[in-house]
Amino acid sequence: MKSLGTVYFFVLTILVAQFSYAQDVEVAQSFDGVEKKLGEKFNKYNQSRDDDERNTLANEIKNEVASILANPNYANIEFKNLKVISVVKSRDESVKLYTWVLPNLVGTYSFYGFLKSGEGISARVYELIDKSDSIPAVDR
């Protein structure tokens, strides 16, 4: 009877492995779509010549990135296909910094970012706020 138990265990292990692989593939495919949609928003932002539209798109991009980072299904996200977002990781990968820059129509730049610490359900995401407007100019 031990061999029958071993067969059941083996079959169950294969089924669980296939289910896990299918979930990983589904998450990867769904992230590809999310990443593509985000890339389209970055492109639309860069093509726009309207400040109101750019502000709306910048907020949508920021909110989407925050949502992605807070989603435990995307715990290991690196935005490899989206070169606009820079990802810097600590050596142990417990802390990750996600940043990007958006050019403004007047020749200045707006800086965006998030700091993510931890993984899974215990992960925390902190928004980094651009305060460059409040920094006084340096006299030369």
Give the H or E element holding residue 44: helix 2-47
Read out DSSP for 54-81? HHHHHHHHHHHHHHHHH-GGGTT---TT
User: Judging by beta carbons within 10 Å of its beta carbon (0-12, 13-18, 19+), is residue 38 exposed, middle or buried?
Assistant: buried
Tokens of 59: 């907020």
> Tell me: the pLDDT tens digits for 2-59?
565 555 555 445 544 444 443 443 444 466 888 999 999 999 999 999 999 999 999 9
* Amino acid making up residue 56: T
pTM, rounded to two decimals:
0.74
Tokens of 21: 């692989």
- Between CA 23 and CA 28 the distance in angstroms is 9
> Tell me: the pLDDT tens digits for 51-92?
999 999 999 999 999 999 999 888 888 898 899 999 999 999
- Between CA 91 and CA 114 the distance in angstroms is 18
